[in-house]
Structures are given as structure tokens and as C-alpha cells.
Amino acid sequence: MDSELIIRQMLTSDMDRLKQIIDASFPRFFRFFASHSLDSEGQVLVSEAHGTAVGFAKLVEFHVGGDKFGCILWLAVHPQFRRKGIASALVNTGTELLKHNGARAVFASAQRRNIVSLAFFSMQGFRKMGFLGLWRLFGWRIFEFYRDIWFAPGEIVLMHN
């Protein structure tokens, strides 16, 4: 990882650069949702190198039943800065922050066909959670959970606890 890399909260002035990162990182269908999530509930961590935003992670906190959970809703790094440990730094910082704020577990999801993302999250300590595992955790509240993590068809849920 670059020694000049810092992780910080998003500033309003980051918005245009983060939208460029979104456009370079996600298929067209997901760009709309990722862009609109930047100024919705939750927080956005930004990785900055040499004064420029090079990646981000959108974090949300939610409650299901009496328990608090966290989710890394979106994660993206500009293509020119990939494979330098930036995504790992964002995920580790985000996971620690969510757990520090009381999250019992932190979730993420990735499209079933996105083997790079699935492998990446696995290397960061996340494990795949099938429907039955989530059912054991949430029971009938599983549908609240799916809503809170913006679950879409074709995705696999991953959990870090």
C-alpha cells in the first residue's frame, strides 16, 4: 500500500471524483444506485492518495430485532489504483469502524458471477452466507435484513463476525 494513502470521511468536494470512480467500476445498472447512495443515510469512507480520491466504501448501520449490524454497501477503487491494497484498507477500516460502533456482524454482498469480489471478501475474513444460515440468524426478519443491505437478485451475502 502507498505510504501516502489516507482513509477519511467523504467531503462534499469528493462527489464528482467518486462518481468518476463509480462510472469506471460498475456496470450501468448499478451506477445509478451507487451514485445515489453517496448522499443517503450512512457514511462514506474515502481513500486518498496524493490529494486525490482513489476509492471509497459506503457503510450503513441497521437493526434487525434488537441487534445492530453493519454493511459495506458499495466498494470501488479507480482502475489505475487497483491491486495496491486500497480496497483492503477500506474494508478493514470500515469493518473495524462498524464493529466499534456496536455492530454484531458486518455484511457485504457481491454478484454471484463476480468471482473477483467474492474472492477478495473471502481474503478479508468474510464468509458466504446462504439463505438457511441467514434464516438461523434472523428468522422471519430476514426480509428486513435483505431490505437493509439493498439485496438484489443474483447476489451472494457475505458476513464478517
pLDDT tens-digit map of 13-34: 999 999 999 999 999 988 999 9
Its pTM stands at: 0.92
Counting the structural domains of the chain, the total is 1
Q: What is the mean pLDDT of the chain?
A: 93
Cα 126 to Cα 92, 104, 113, 157: the distances in Å are 11, 14, 17, 9
What pLDDT is stored for residue 118 in this prediction? 96
DSSP 6-23: EEEE--GGGHHHHHHHHH
Do 110 and 60 meet the contact criterion of CB atoms below 8 Å apart? Answer: no
Which domain does 39 fall in, by range? 5-160
What pLDDT is stored for residue 3 in this prediction? 61
With cut-offs at 50, 70 and 90, classify the pLDDT of residue 39: confident
The CATH number for 15's domain is 3.40.630.30
- The helix (run of H) or strand (run of E) holding residue 88 is helix 86-100
What pLDDT is stored for residue 161 in this prediction? 85
Residue 63's DSSP bridge partners are 68
What pLDDT is stored for residue 153 in this prediction? 85
What DSSP state is assigned to residue 138?
Answer: H
Mean pLDDT (whole number) for 41-47: 94
pLDDT digit string, tens, across residues 79-119: 999 999 999 999 999 999 999 999 999 999 999 999 999 99
Question: Letter for the amino acid at 120?
Answer: F
From the CB of residue 85, how many other CB atoms can be counted at a distance below 10 Å? 15
